[in-house]
């Protein structure tokens, strides 16, 4: 007898299931809040600031809007790149059709099918391939079980969730056994809704180290969202595919988490500069250097911090919005793998979980965009020959979105002195 599909059980979840999820959430919160917090939050990566930053760079000054010109330049660069991606997203179907009718017309046979699948992959359309479907199933399995590996690693290293959060000695034994128990449930796919509730409760507990610590751990909630929408008898279900709703919430959670992490890098600039002082190779990033193009080389460390943070904000927003999801997931998988395998070593083991989540998104054939409504209007105006309305639907949201995403917080941060953070 074959194992039942997870989609059947997910579709049948009703009020009773939601009530059980509420009970599970309460249990998770009580478990996570049942002990005292550690006294300090220490980064496991060396971050001693060797050379002080130029503090006025991040503060208000006698410049336009009080923002340093180099920060404004980075903001303009980011807004331009972001706007280009948004416009390309709206225009991807006409551009794909043009390429197919001109460049790819002479190509036939297996090469044609391969290029068609590549085109579908780059534009977030379903990829009709057996090997792609197999990879998609494998990525879901990795995503669902990777938090268990991370919890085991953390328990072995006297930390909570990741090495950034060392355990308080009086409660360390309890938390280590609790993490091992939770990891066993996750690895055996048992009581996943309860596992999700406990992960959510653990994230709430991290607030006791400070709001920045909790913000740093928002990506952990991606697994919690998926677990809490899984069937209670999950150990009897072959979960190799996520529903559209689960994928959407996973994408939104990851996107919001990366955006907040990007803004925190700019807000807590001394920590980021300290990491760069100890690991100079992290500054050699093509995307960050592109966003810092045209800035003062005499302020390279300062401009690198802002460009680095804005790169994460931009990628997080595009992931949140579902704009070229596969492209951005591919880029971020490469970056996280490089940090773990090349730059910082196995202390970055928790990145296995993030990589698993990104792979599950990248290899899904159920990708959606938060701009689908605008696309329908754009298609309608295009079919009616209303070119000006079509242009307005494309350009106005793109420009307005770029302005709102990039500039307000860059301006607001100038009011805060973060020198002693």
Global pTM value: 0.82
Residue numbers of the domain that contains 277? 37-415
Say whether pLDDT at 173 is over 80. yes
Give the DSSP letter of residue 104.
Answer: S
* Cα gap 88→375, rounded to integer Å: 12
User: Is 310 inside any structural domain?
Assistant: yes
Say whether pLDDT at 303 is over 90. yes
pLDDT of res. 163? 67
Cα dihedral 152, 154, 155, 160, rounded to 10, equals: -130
Residue 199 · residue 227 · CB < 8 Å = yes
User: Is 7 inside any structural domain?
Assistant: no
Q: Point out which residues pair with 238 in neighbouring strands.
A: 5
Give per-residue pLDDT as tens, 340-385: 887 777 767 778 888 999 999 999 999 999 887 777 777 777 777 7
* Cα gap 94→29, rounded to integer Å: 50
Report the domain count for the chain.
1
Q: Give the contacts of 341 (CB within 8 A, at least 6 positions apart).
A: none
User: Is 107 inside any structural domain?
Assistant: yes
* Cα gap 355→337, rounded to integer Å: 8
Confidence bin at 19 (pLDDT 50/70/90): very low
User: Is 388 inside any structural domain?
Assistant: yes
Q: What is the mean pLDDT of residues 268-275?
A: 86
pLDDT of res. 68? 94
* Cα gap 196→204, rounded to integer Å: 12
Say whether pLDDT at 388 is over 90. no
Give per-residue pLDDT as tens, 46-64: 667 778 888 889 988 888 8
Phi-psi region of 68 (alpha: psi -120 to 50; beta: other; left: phi over 0): beta
Q: Which residue in this structure is represented by tokens 């709102």?
A: 404
Give per-residue pLDDT as tens, 308-337: 999 999 999 999 999 999 999 999 998 888
Residue 248 parent element (H or E) = helix 244-267
Distances in Å between the Cα of 270 and the Cα atoms of 43, 45, 59 are: 13, 14, 13
């Amino acid at each position: 007898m074959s194992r039942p599909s997870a989609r059947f059980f997910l579709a049948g979840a009703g009020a009773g299931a939601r009530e059980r999820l509420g009970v599970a959430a309460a249990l998770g919160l009580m478990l996570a809040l049942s002990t005292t917090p550690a006294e300090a939050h220490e980064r496991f990566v060396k971050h001693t600031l060797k050379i002080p930053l130029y503090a006025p760079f991040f503060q208000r000054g006698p410049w336009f809007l009080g923002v340093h010109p180099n920060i404004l330049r980075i903001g303009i660069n980011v807004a331009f790149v972001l706007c280009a991606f948004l416009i390309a997203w709206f225009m991807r179907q006409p551009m794909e059709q043009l390429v197919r009718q001109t460049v790819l017309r002479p190509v036939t046979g297996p090469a044609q099918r391969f290029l068609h699948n590549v085109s579908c992959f780059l534009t977030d359309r379903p990829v009709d391939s057996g090997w792609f479907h197999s990879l998609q199933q494998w990525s879901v399995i990795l995503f669902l079980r990777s938090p268990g590996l991370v919890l085991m690693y953390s328990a072995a290293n006297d930390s909570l969730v990741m090495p950034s959060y060392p355990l308080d000695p009086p409660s360390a034994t309890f938390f280590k056994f609790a993490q091992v128990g939770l990891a066993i449930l996750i690895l055996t796919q048992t009581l996943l809704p309860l596992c999700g509730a406990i992960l959510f409760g653990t994230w709430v507990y991290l607030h006791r180290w400070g709001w920045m610590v909790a913000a740093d751990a928002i990506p952990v909630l991606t697994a919690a969202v998926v677990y809490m929408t899984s069937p209670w008898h999950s150990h009897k279900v072959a979960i190799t595919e996520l529903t559209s709703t689960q994928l959407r919430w996973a994408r939104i959670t990851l996107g919001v988490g990366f955006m907040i992490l990007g803004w925190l890098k700019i807000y807590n600039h001394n920590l980021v500069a300290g990491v760069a002082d100890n690991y100079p190779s992290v500054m050699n990033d093509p995307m960050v250097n592109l966003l810092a193009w045209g800035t003062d080389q005499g302020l390279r460390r300062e401009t690198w911090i802002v460009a680095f943070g804005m790169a994460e904000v931009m990628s997080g927003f595009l992931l949140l919005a579902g704009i070229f999801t596969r492209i951005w997931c591919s880029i971020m998988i490469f970056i996280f793998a490089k940090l773990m395998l090349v730059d910082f070593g196995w202390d970055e083991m928790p990145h296995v979980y993030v990589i698993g989540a990104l792979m599950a998104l990248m290899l899904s054939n159920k990708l959606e965009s938060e701009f689908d409504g605008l696309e329908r209007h754009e298609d309608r105006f295009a079919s009616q020959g209303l070119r000006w309305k079509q242009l307005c639907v494309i350009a106005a949201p793109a420009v307005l979105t770029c302005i709102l995403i990039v500039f307000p917080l860059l301006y607001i941060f100038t009011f805060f002195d973060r020198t002693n953070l």
